[in-house]
Amino acid sequence: MPERKISKAVVLANSTKPDFDEISSSFRSRLQSQGIGCEVISLSSTVSDLKIEVPDCDMAISLGGDGTVLTCAELLKGRGIPILAVNFGTFGYIAETPTDELWRVFEDYRSGRTDVISRMMLDVSVARGGKEVFSSSSLNDVTVSAISHARMARIDLYVNGILAANLRGDGLIVATPTGSTAYSLAAGGPILDASLDAIVINPICPFTMGVRPLVVNRDSVVKMVLPRQTTDVSLTCDGHEVFSVAEGDEITVTEGKHQALFIANSKRRFIEVLRDKLGWAGSFNA
The CA angle 215-219-223, to the nearest 5 degrees, is: 70
β-bridge partners, 281: none
In the chain, the largest separation of any two C-alpha atoms, in whole Å, equals: 62
Give the DSSP H/E element, type plus range, for residue 74.
helix 66-76
- Contact of 39 with 54, CB cutoff 8 Å: no
Rounded to whole angstroms, the Cα distance separating 232 from 34 reads 54
**Cβ contact 198:177 at 8 Å:** yes
User: Catalytic amino acids?
Assistant: 66
DSSP E strands, the chain: 8-14, 37-43, 59-64, 83-87, 97-98, 116-128, 131-138, 141-146, 153-159, 162-175, 198-206, 214-217, 222-225, 233-237, 241-245, 250-263
CA–CA dist 171, 241 (Å, integer): 16
Coil, strand or helix at 273: helix
Cα(84)–Cα(132) distance, rounded to whole angstroms?
34
* Cα separation, 199 vs 197, whole angstroms: 7
Q: What distance in Å separates the CA atoms of residue 99 and residue 5, rounded to the nearest whole number?
A: 23
In angstroms, the CA 118 to CA 232 distance is 36
For 111, other C-beta atoms within 10 Å of its C-beta total 12
